[in-house]
A and B are shown apart, each in its own frame.
Chain A
């Protein structure tokens, strides 16, 4: 197990998600260090982005449920363009959570050089507390960059 890494946020600014009754839990879940995803109480399907009823069984008993926070990078990029003057480069990655095929989040992989992030990389969730939000981001599961 990797040590929890104290993360520096490379983004000069982070947009704040608009309030939404169905999705607010996602942005605050990390306050206790756990990532939560909406889950169907009837068939167990994880639903992201959050919606109801369950798209698999149409059950409406859906609620946020903790997940392992482990995932695999499916696609990634290093943003180099300074959309904001002075912005250092950073990784944007589409991460698939291990709980379910196709259960994906767009996020950032931090804790290593952005150029070292790669498809197939195993990552684990961490959180950036900022703007009153716990942004779920990821770090290399190995604790190393490769």
Chain B
């Protein structure tokens, strides 16, 4: 049985300018990244017949988060589309890529532009971060309904209890979380697009101010402005494109257990476990075949959660695993090699996919791993949000 994801390749990659407080419109950044991706795929805009984004126009939970909806991008680029979608209710941010792959596999379209744009740095820079969070005797509804009335207003407040639970159950320490931040900062120094490149030590990490215990400022990703785009194409286009195609070996889209920040049975893992299990159910590969990982790091603790969920280390063993240097360039599993969201910037999941594809193509510049990775795992989401991919440089 052929899996639908084998029908597709990533044929093009593109990014806009990325930085702090660029003061540019989200639409401008988006058209930049999309045009770069289309050119990278050796296509023209007339070839594009699908368009997809996360989270879509009406899903902006805070300023600068949403990016432009598909209709705005379609109009700006005067695209003729056979399929389009903008949605947040997906298996993590990379659910947009999964949706696009399904559309291609279903025969609705052949070349889908998939994009994610954030302008959170500019939005927060002009209005201050507190201004973009609910608070002012606000009405709590939706995802916030059971948490905002108790002052749990930020993702930091929703994930700090998970970190504390992990510490409690497994003896995980702040020094171990700090190893994630320090390792990723070192990678960021080889990424010209990274926004935080000043060398970081564990002592610097331990001295950082607390946001929501046990998480400190350096456990949190850094908001940026920027857009990332991909062209997802039918596999029949794999020959003759300018750059090596990237293959989707498997997707992990499952949601098992209660989709909730506080009701999930295992408060030290949450939804990542189900998505990762689903990924391995769909693949003939196993965790030992993975050369490199790009794991969602909206907060450092999520890297530990994903390492365990995907089976790269045993349950509860992620703290010693990361502190032992496993995530570095010479480690067992080089991870978040762009610097990740903690140091390169919060491109909200799409930066991880971009880095995975760059590494698989052998085009990651000064941070290119050697030998060139052949299998890269990518994950997105935290708490009740989770999705993952296995990308390869050759068909499996």
Q: Which residues of A contact B (CB under 8 A)?
A: 11, 13-18, 20, 23, 27, 48-49, 74-85, 90, 92-94, 102, 104-108, 115, 119, 131, 133, 135, 137
Q: How many angstroms from the CA of A97 to the CA of B161 in the assembled complex?
A: 17
A14 contact set on B, CB distance < 8 A: 137, 149-151
Q: How many angstroms from the CA of A79 to the CA of B155 in the assembled complex?
A: 11
B147 contact set on A, CB distance < 8 A: 106
Query: B312 within 8 Å of A by Cβ?
Result: no
Tell which of A13, A49, A92 touches B161, judged by Cβ atoms closer than 8 Å. A92
Q: How many angstroms from the CA of A115 to the CA of B209 in the assembled complex?
A: 15
Contact between chains at A119 and B150 (CB < 8 Å): no
Contact between chains at A80 and B213 (CB < 8 Å): yes
B57 to chain A, nearest CB (A): 22
Contact between chains at B161 and A78 (CB < 8 Å): no
Contact between chains at B164 and A119 (CB < 8 Å): yes
Query: B22 within 8 Å of A by Cβ?
Result: no
Tell which of A15, A82, A83, A90 touches B149, judged by Cβ atoms closer than 8 Å. A15
Q: How many angstroms from the CA of A88 to the CA of B148 in the assembled complex?
A: 16
Q: How many angstroms from the CA of A16 to the CA of B135 in the assembled complex?
A: 10
Contact between chains at A77 and B135 (CB < 8 Å): no
Nearest chain A residue, comparing its CB with the CB of B142: A18
B43 contact set on A, CB distance < 8 A: none
If A15-B135, A15-B139 touch, whether A78 touches B213 (CB-CB below 8 Å) is yes
B164 contact set on A, CB distance < 8 A: 75-77, 119
Contact between chains at B212 and A78 (CB < 8 Å): yes
A-B contact pairs, 12 of them (CB 8 A): A15-B139, A15-B140, A17-B139, A49-B146, A75-B267, A78-B210, A81-B154, A84-B130, A93-B161, A104-B262, A105-B146, A131-B137
B138 contact set on A, CB distance < 8 A: 13, 15-16
If A13-B137, A15-B148, A83-B133 touch, whether A77 touches B161 (CB-CB below 8 Å) is yes
Contact between chains at B162 and A75 (CB < 8 Å): yes
A17-B139, A108-B151 known, 8 other contacts, Cβ within 8 Å: A14-B150, A17-B145, A18-B140, A75-B164, A75-B165, A81-B156, A84-B135, A94-B161
- Report B266-309 CB contacts with A as 1/0, cut-off 8 Å: 01000000000000000000000000000000000000000000
Q: How many angstroms from the CA of A18 to the CA of B144 in the assembled complex?
A: 10
Query: B325 within 8 Å of A by Cβ?
Result: no
A102 contact set on B, CB distance < 8 A: 263, 265
B213 contact set on A, CB distance < 8 A: 77-78, 80, 115
Nearest chain A residue, comparing its CB with the CB of B166: A75
Nearest chain B residue, comparing its CB with the CB of A84: B135
Contact between chains at B211 and A81 (CB < 8 Å): yes
Contact between chains at A13 and B136 (CB < 8 Å): yes
B329 to chain A, nearest CB (A): 33
Query: B313 within 8 Å of A by Cβ?
Result: no
A81 contact set on B, CB distance < 8 A: 154, 156, 210-212
A99 to chain B, nearest CB (A): 15
Nearest chain B residue, comparing its CB with the CB of A93: B161
Query: B2 within 8 Å of A by Cβ?
Result: no
A105 contact set on B, CB distance < 8 A: 146, 262
B83 to chain A, nearest CB (A): 34
A48 contact set on B, CB distance < 8 A: 263
A96 to chain B, nearest CB (A): 10
Q: Top 10 nearest A-B pairs by Cβ distance?
A: A75-B161, A77-B160, A15-B148, A15-B140, A18-B141, A75-B165, A80-B210, A78-B213, A81-B211, A106-B262
Nearest chain A residue, comparing its CB with the CB of B261: A106
A3 to chain B, nearest CB (A): 23
B186 to chain A, nearest CB (A): 27
Query: B127 within 8 Å of A by Cβ?
Result: no
Q: Which of B130, B151, B152, B209 has the most CB of A within 10 A?
A: B151
B148 contact set on A, CB distance < 8 A: 15
Q: Which of B373-387 contact A (CB under 8 A)?
A: none
B162 contact set on A, CB distance < 8 A: 75
Contact between chains at A16 and B149 (CB < 8 Å): yes
Q: How many angstroms from the CA of A82 to the CA of B214 in the assembled complex?
A: 16
Nearest chain A residue, comparing its CB with the CB of B140: A15
B320 contact set on A, CB distance < 8 A: none
